[in-house]
Structure 1
């Protein structure tokens, strides 16, 4: 049985897909190959768009969200796990994908360190996140809205500066694309 949180998540995210999020998800996984880890898979909205032949392992901390993800792409390895304590050996993956995840991670620097650890040499982090606006007025609005929004949206922080966190966590950003007036970032990064 699906939990209410999984249904609510999809009720919000599916319409967002119609306004560009689906295309951003496709760009996020385009050209991937090998063994890929998706962190924070949620209800598995990204799972159906992985290229054929990609061996995917997807994790989330919420078992109710994982139950919904199982329906989206049978055969994918799904595990209940936390990005801050990944249960994988060093150098296990060719790529790690995160889509709208790091806004909710309690200690994002620790999660990014774990991703670096499980990436193989030459591996990529591919990230799609909403971020703190570079415009001071918008950033102040995000700061004011974040406490209430976080309470309603599974801990989501509207004002997190994820790009700086990625760079400070030992990654070199090789591709960066800003969308929606610089509120959304698409990143490709490699361990520095």
Structure 2
């Protein structure tokens, strides 16, 4: 991931959490790379991941964050619990992304935001075909990461309206802010 950070991924990660406030849920926190970047205006951060070893590493990055072993497809929180939900390079690996997005929709408060940074299927035909061809092998080698997810239509079909969108790395990475409709 380090070379992608040099190409702008680190800046995009920081933008993902800039300006957030209130009670925030980060899904798929992994080793917690994003946790130190949350601004002081965030009153509390809850982070989940399905991998307990990743959560142990995340705990070292920012003590005081509430960490839970959980799956985005079945969130253990009441409806309307969070002011914002953050997802950074997660939905490429979610088995049922529509179910995970429905859960995020459920736990967001009215007026809340979903902020996502995801690699996606390229709109460029040659790159899109390459992603599609490589996906089965890549998925096996990377622990379930899909190269060719069409995340934007999934987000919109899950009851969100995209209010901000930026594309990076030859349109293979999407940065989104969406609100429940």
Which band: TM-score by shorter chain?
over 0.9
**Which residue of the partner structure matches residue 15 of structure 2?**
27
Aligned length: 180
| Corresponding residue SS for 1:101 | coil
Q: Is 1:182 the counterpart of 2:166 in the alignment?
A: no
**Which residue of the partner structure matches residue 98 of structure 2?**
109
**Which residue of the partner structure matches residue 36 of structure 1?**
24
Give distance in 2, aligned partners of 1:39 and 1:89: 15
Indicate the larger mover: 136-145 or 13-22.
Answer: 13-22
Q: What's the CA shift string for 1:76-129, capped at 9, x where partnerless? A: 011000000000000000000000000000000000000000000000000000
- Residue among 152, 158, 161 paired with 2:141: 152
**Which residue of the partner structure matches residue 87 of structure 1?**
76
Give distance in 2, aligned partners of 1:62 and 1:147: 23
- Residue among 45, 56, 60 paired with 2:49: 60
Give distance in 1, aligned partners of 2:176 and 2:31: 22
Unaligned runs of 5+ in 1: 1-12
TM-score normalised to the size of structure 1? 0.92
Q: What's the CA shift string for 1:137-166, capped at 9, x where partnerless? A: 111100111111111212000000001100
Unaligned runs of 5+ in 2: none
- Structure 1 outlier segments of 4+, above 4 Å: none
| Corresponding residue SS for 2:36 | helix
**Which residue of the partner structure matches residue 50 of structure 1?**
38
Give distance in 1, aligned partners of 2:172 and 2:71: 25
Give distance in 2, aligned partners of 1:58 and 1:179: 25
Shift of 1:22: 1.1
| Corresponding residue SS for 2:26 | strand
**Which residue of the partner structure matches residue 139 of structure 1?**
128
**Which residue of the partner structure matches residue 119 of structure 1?**
108
Give distance in 2, aligned partners of 1:144 and 1:62: 28
- Residue among 162, 169, 173 paired with 1:173: 162
